[in-house]
Chain A
């Protein structure tokens, strides 16, 4: 019987792995991910989860072990955060290039220095070039759902690529809220066992990851690129199936919240989307024609969908909980890229909430009103940092 329990995002991730019948978990602890792997270790020790738990000495080894496990045909899972994820970088790229459906959870945490354990998307987005799919969760239910869905998407024979399911540090990882924990049988119906075409097998020896000379490397990369091109459609297909089986829609590529016919579109990722929905409702009650696009899938970037939902929109206000030096916020850049040659509108990049800076409904409302005001006054600046200490009055009133 499915059961609704009040659990943290970390617990939800662990349960996602359990329900997905993960067979190998290799992980290294780091705040605020530690409880994910502690919970899994507990479930394995108690016999509630039938998996090999490998204690490794670093995150690089964690992903390496998962890659090897996946290559033998075992469903593999790991989790990390910030500096741990950064340490995994080489292996994140390897998993993608090796076409292995490893799923991991990353707890979005700021990169130091300054040393921080709090919510920030830069760690995940700094890995956007690795070839991993990236799903940004809004709440704990979605964390659970996304882990299960990710395995289904990743293990599809047309796809065979790894994914990251990401959740905000503390805001989701350590906050308890009601989550429906599905019946194992229901998940088993949805997610069949992992059975890859080729695997490491002593009875049928094969070589993997061999040298690619210049006259072959590009062709292999093209084939992998083609597989990645299929992911938007596959994600939507699996999302639809998930909805049919579990009665819940995790959001697909973009969740459209009251976006029909809006003049102003606000774009968010992760947990701030949840708080923002309250603010959107308030602004709409006050007569503003504004809606929210929650960017759930960052990789693949939903280019077609963005072009579609910005038809008739005058202003796009993007809330980026990340900043790359010399580059700006990642979501804004990618949206601009998607819209180039397709839409002529005002787009402003708001840098918000870095290092766990709290985003209250009040501050979010000010940001959205600023975006709304651009319709009349035009774009004042391309990038604006919100709620810096030097600037508090503007955003806190």
Chain B
């Protein structure tokens, strides 16, 4: 079973990202669960969303405390939120930043993967320059870094489920898949 945690800001699509990942995993015959951090939501505030994926039935309905994968959609969150809290010793972190993985300091040894999802989103006109919608892009990077699902499955889910700009979103996913950097990726 894999437990995944997304960190974003209200309006960036963290919850949608957690759902799309669940749908992709489900399409590959896994059992899945996705949920936001429970509570009152509002724009601008940090949002945490979760996905559980397992090849057998997911019965665990407790919250996720020790994620295998953490995704950081907005680097400014690093000041406000401890994104590596509970991260498993071999857990992976995927971050939206133009920096290279070795330039990111999270205070832990875990493998890091970076992609400039904001620029990719802006390139494909997803959101605005000030507030790009990075969720579909970052998902492409997540899949490359973790192999959780096949990229084709994810792109298909994105294309089918994006509320608007379906092709642009799908392309953003594919582009991030290609461009993400990480030490074990060639």
Chain A residues lying within 8 Å of B65, measured Cβ to Cβ, are: 358, 360
Contact with B along A174-201 (1 / 0, CB 8 A): 1111100000000000000000000000
Contact B35 A170 (CB under 8 A): yes
CB distance from A268 to the nearest CB of B (A): 11
Q: Which residues of B in the span 16-60 have a Cβ within 8 Å of any Cβ on A?
A: 19, 22-23, 26, 31-36, 38-40, 58-60
Give the contact stretch, choosing among A54-62, A92-100, A148-156, A273-281. A273-281
Contact B62 A175 (CB under 8 A): no
Contact B59 A177 (CB under 8 A): no
Contacts A6-B19, A6-B32, A117-B40; A178 near B26 (Cβ below 8 A): yes
Q: Which residues of B in the span 99-149 have a Cβ within 8 Å of any Cβ on A?
A: none
Contact A358 B62 (CB under 8 A): yes
User: In the bound complex, how far is the Cα of B19 from the Cα of A6, in angstroms?
Assistant: 8
Residue of B35, B62, B63 contacting most chain A CB atoms (<10 Å)? B62
Contact B31 A170 (CB under 8 A): no
Contact B40 A6 (CB under 8 A): no
A298 within 8 A of B: no
Q: Which residues of A in the span 12-37 have a Cβ within 8 Å of any Cβ on B?
A: 31
Q: Within the complex, which residue of A176, A272, A277 is in contact with B35, where a contact is CB–CB below 8 Å?
A: A176
User: In the bound complex, how far is the Cα of B16 from the Cα of A6, in angstroms?
Assistant: 12
A171 within 8 A of B: yes
Contact A274 B61 (CB under 8 A): yes
Nearest B-chain residue to A175, judged by Cβ? B35
Chain A residues lying within 8 Å of B59, measured Cβ to Cβ, are: 274-275, 277-278
Chain B residues lying within 8 Å of A177, measured Cβ to Cβ, are: 31-34, 58
Main secondary structure of the interface of A (DSSP, over half): loop
A43 within 8 A of B: no
Chain B residues lying within 8 Å of A300, measured Cβ to Cβ, are: none
Contact B61 A176 (CB under 8 A): no
Contact B61 A118 (CB under 8 A): no
Chain A residues lying within 8 Å of B19, measured Cβ to Cβ, are: 6, 176
Contact A176 B60 (CB under 8 A): no
Chain A residues lying within 8 Å of B62, measured Cβ to Cβ, are: 275, 358-361
A251 within 8 A of B: no
CB distance from B57 to the nearest CB of A (A): 9
User: In the bound complex, how far is the Cα of B57 from the Cα of A277, in angstroms?
Assistant: 11
Chain A residues lying within 8 Å of B58, measured Cβ to Cβ, are: 177
CB distance from B68 to the nearest CB of A (A): 16
Chain B residues lying within 8 Å of A84, measured Cβ to Cβ, are: none
Contact B22 A176 (CB under 8 A): yes
Contact B38 A170 (CB under 8 A): yes
Contact B32 A178 (CB under 8 A): yes
Chain A residues lying within 8 Å of B34, measured Cβ to Cβ, are: 6, 175-177
Contacts A176-B33, A178-B32; A275 near B61 (Cβ below 8 A): yes
CB distance from B21 to the nearest CB of A (A): 11
Which residues of B does A touch, CB under 8 Å?
19, 22-23, 26, 31-36, 38-40, 58-63, 65
- The 29 sampled A-B contact pairs (Cβ below 8 Å) are A6-B19, A31-B40, A117-B39, A117-B40, A139-B61, A169-B38, A170-B35, A171-B38, A171-B61, A172-B61, A174-B35, A175-B34, A175-B61, A177-B31, A177-B32, A178-B32, A272-B61, A274-B60, A275-B60, A275-B61, A277-B59, A278-B59, A358-B62, A358-B63, A359-B62, A360-B62, A360-B65, A361-B60, A361-B62
Which 10 residue pairs are nearest across A and B when measured between Cβ atoms? A170-B38, A175-B35, A360-B62, A274-B59, A271-B61, A176-B34, A358-B63, A177-B33, A274-B61, A275-B61
Given A275-B59, A358-B65, 13 more pairs with CB closer than 8 A: A6-B32, A117-B39, A175-B33, A175-B34, A175-B61, A176-B19, A176-B22, A176-B34, A275-B62, A277-B59, A278-B59, A359-B62, A360-B62
